[in-house]
Amino acid sequence: MEEPNKFWKSVAKELHFEKWSDKGLEYNFDHQKGEVFVKFMEGAKTNMAYNCLERNIQKGLGSKIAYIWEGNEPGDQMTITYQELLEQVSKFAEVLRTKGVKKGDVVAIYLPMTIELPIAMLACARIGAIHSVVFAGFSSDALANRIHQAKAKILITADGFYRGHKAIDLKTLADKAFSICHDQGHDIDSVIMVEHLKRIRTPQGAIPPEVKINKKTDSLWNKEMEAASSKNLQTSKIEWNDSEDPLFILYTSGSTGTPKGLVHTTTGYMTYAYEAAKKIFDSKPDDVFWCTADIGWITGHTFGVYGALLNGMTSMLFEGVPNYPDASRMWQLVEKYKVSKLYTSPTAVRSLMDCPTEMVTDYSRDTLKILGVVGEPINRPAWRWLHKVVGGEKCAIVDTYWQTETGGPMLTPLPGATPTKPGSATMPFFGVDPVLVDDQGVAKKGQIDGNLCFARAWPGMARTIWGDHARFIKTYFSTFPGLYFTGDGARRDQDSYYWVGGRVDDKLNVSGHLLSTSEIECVLTHHPTVQEAAVVAAPHPSKGQVPYAFVVLKQSRTLTADLIHEIKQEVRNKIGPFAAPEVVHGACGLPKTRSGKITRRILRIIAEGDHKANLGDTSTLIDEQVIAHLWETRPDVQFCK
């Protein structure tokens, strides 16, 4: 694209601005030439919630269903129209104002996949508050860390929910996080709790966990909304935000073990999310769009909430999991709600393709037009199964590559326009300029493998890391000055198609959850029996990758089955279940260079169990005998690439 500025401003003109700006993208990616920054339409004023709601209602979509909600248990369902959503958002905006929340304050949201989640996000956007959604699968420690870092003023949570048969006592986790924050010197002003368990069915009539209410700090969502209703407000006052005002913070794993709070701003993110949902999923008025990602992740933000609503779509919000009560659940819902566009993860695809084909084919998928995947590279067998079995060879497949940092897809086919190749994210999205560079930062042309970077800014990219711009620069712009570095490796083929590989840094991708190995290592080394630890990614047939932990125990300690369980449980408690090591490998030492650096390349080969692999130069190791010992003590587990 020769004139991306002109293009993106033409897209922005389809949205509402209280004050327009003729400024386009302004940026500097080279920290050697000055401050790293990105701006889009600086000086303009708009509001995300207004564009999602009033703008669509004024176009006659007030009675259109905005969300179809389906609970964990079949039969739990509800819908909400755009007009009803506006009314709920307006009320909750007043609730937040009553609680003292003002423009620029941070509101932490720790909710399951219920209608209250997008309501809370939109209410924050309406009054200029910054929302920080924390995935409801995170532990109390992880939640507390994010609340404390962001200095959140309010916490919105629920009593609990179910994922399949498993009860999640969300309020107890929130209470623990509240206490941890207090001990660390940050007090949350108030907690608003959704009474979700009272209104849903439970698996086989299970009794929900008891919930404790702190009368000093806690209040109930319904009671607060009733109080707001008594004011007889048609709509709440709108805060017209500057283009570069923060819209939300979303945390992702950091290489230091400390989560990074990526900051996305109003106009740039809004414009990019709108165009991405419109073009990548060929938005039509009669679409029923289902993004299966949890709203706690960037995919849920961009496609489950903002991109879908900006385009006036009807979206599905599903609280359950695709294999409960059985593996046909997803296809039952596609048939039931006549889903036309489905956006899911390769992990979900791989898990479902192992089930009998009838689990899919017993249900009508005639309404499906586009099938999208996101979160990690999809292998060819999974791509072909999705195309043939699910799509009946008539649906377009859009394999999208992007990150929390990018705000929206960077590499993606356009349905009906881009010929696809199984496993390739194909071509760059509008205005995106991918570059493959070698380890010295030299850009390579033609068919090549390299480090995936982007050479120019795009409106939807994150502007900074909350409270730590120096870390933002170091993470994304210091490795290759003048370029945004993704941390991923990629290959460009003879047709200029891009094939994204794995991380080239110390992160791993577990079922679409991007995790920092150092974050897991930090938990392991805090265990009283562990002297040292190193975590690498091991390939897994359904999860993509899993953590494989090497641990060196303190003297006189033995790695027993009970201790392995205890170590795994510690990671579950501190980060979340998805971060627990698949394997804990007891080691007498780790392969280190004379400078003290752990040679992770060797650990990855041992974790994969590839005895034939070339270990490379081991002459720089302090003790080469460590390698033989690691092979001897490797647990008898097999991983399939």
3-state secondary structure 167-227: EECHHHHHHHHHHHHHHCCCCCCEEEEECCHHHCCCHHHCCCCCCCCCCCCEEEHHHHHHH
Of 305, 266, 311, residue with least CA distance to 462: 266
Q: What is the pLDDT of residue 234?
A: 61
Structure tokens at 35: 């401050």
Share of the chain above pLDDT 70, in %: 97
C-alpha distance from residue 312 to each of 125, 225, 317, 424 (Å): 17, 25, 15, 30
Tens of pLDDT, residue by residue over 178-219, are 999 999 999 999 999 999 999 999 998 899 888 999 989 999
What's the CATH architecture for 102-239? 3-Layer(aba) Sandwich (3.40)
- The pLDDT, as a whole number, for residue 441 is 92
Smallest CA-to-CA distance from 55 within 94, 14, 102, 104 is with 14
Report whether 437 contacts 481 (CB < 8 A). Answer: no
CB neighbourhood size of 104 (10 A): 12
What is the average pLDDT across 107-113? 98
127-174 tens-digit pLDDT: 999 999 999 988 899 899 999 999 999 999 999 999 999 999 999 999
Cβ contact 509:376 at 8 Å: yes
**C-alpha–C-alpha distance, residues 113 and 221, integer Å:** 16
Averaged pLDDT for residues 84-104:
97
**DSSP 8-state symbol, 285:** T
Confidence label for 298 from pLDDT (cuts 50, 70 and 90):
very high
Residue 546: how many CB atoms within 10 A of its CB?
23
For residue 254, the model assigns a pLDDT of 58
Sorted by where each begins, the domain ranges of the chain are: 102-239, 507-633
Region 393-414: what's the mean pLDDT? 97
Per-residue model confidence as pLDDT tens digits over 533-571: 999 999 988 888 999 999 999 877 889 999 999 999 999
Mean pLDDT within 412-428 = 96
User: pLDDT-based confidence at 375, cuts 50/70/90?
Assistant: confident
Where does 232-328 have alpha helices with state H?
A: 266-280, 298-299, 307-310
Which tens digit of pLDDT belongs to each residue from 225-281?
Answer: 999 987 766 667 899 999 999 999 999 865 555 789 999 999 999 999 999 999 999
DSSP tag of 411: B
DSSP string for residues in 56-116? HIIIIITTSEEEEEE-SSTT-EEEEEHHHHHHHHHHHHHHHHHTT--TT-EEEEE--SSTH
325 prior amide bond cis, ω within 30? yes
Query: Is the pLDDT score of 612 beyond 90?
Result: no
HEC profile for 575-620?
CCHHHCCCEEEEECCCCEECCCCECHHHHHHHHHCCCCCCCCCCCC
CB atoms within 10 A of CB 158: 24
pLDDT for position 516 = 78
Q: Which residues pair with 241 in a beta bridge?
A: 46
620, pLDDT greater than 80: no
pLDDT at 618: 74
CA 526, distance to chain mean position in Å, is 27
Q: What does the alpha-carbon distance between residue 138 and residue 161 come to, in Å, rounded to a whole number?
A: 14
pLDDT of residue 641: 59
Residues listed for the chain: 641
Q: Does 73 have pLDDT greater than 90?
A: yes
Average pLDDT, the chain: 93
- Mean pLDDT over residues 103-117, rounded? 99
Question: Does the pLDDT value for residue 346 go beyond 90?
Answer: no
Q: Which of 33-47, 339-353, 401-415 has the lowest mean pLDDT?
A: 339-353
496: left (phi over 0), alpha (psi -120 to 50) or beta: left
Which residues, at least 6 apart from 568, have a Cβ–Cβ distance to it below 8 Å? 580, 581, 584
Of the candidate CATH numbers 3.40.50.720, 3.30.300.30, 3.40.50.970, 3.20.20.70, the domain formed by 507-633 belongs to: 3.30.300.30
Residue 542 pLDDT:
83
Question: For position 235, what pLDDT does the model report?
Answer: 65
